[in-house]
Amino acid sequence: MQRQTVAIAFGRVLRELRRARGLSQEQLASLGDFDRTYPSLLERGLRTPTLSVIFRLAEVLGIAASTLVAKAFEETQK
């Protein structure tokens, strides 16, 4: 599986979960202690998150990190 495919899939899942929780990218960045532009880069598949970033995002989104990763994997299979 190519890195770009994974990054794009992760970004789609992140956007879906963020919107479902009614958060803007800026709010997500603030709650996760990220630079304000980072969620946008992730959602567009321009950056691949580290494990620690996945943990922080999952915490902010109120889901298990394993669920976040599983949803991204499922997205790569579409």
DSSP string, 15-74: HHHHHHTT--HHHHHHHHT--TTHHHHHHTTSS---HHHHHHHHHHHTS-HHHHHHHHHH
Q: What pLDDT, on a 0 to 100 scale, did the predictor assign at position 68?
A: 97
Residue 16 has pLDDT above 80, yes or no: yes
Sorted by where each starts, the structural domains of the chain and their CATH numbers stand as: 3-76 (1.10.260.40)
Predicted confidence (pLDDT) per residue in 39-72, tens digit: 999 999 999 999 999 999 999 999 999 999 999 9
Contact between 6 and 72 under an 8 Å Cβ cutoff? The reply is yes
3-class secondary structure, 57: helix
Q: Which residues contact 2 (CB under 8 A, 6 or more apart)?
A: none
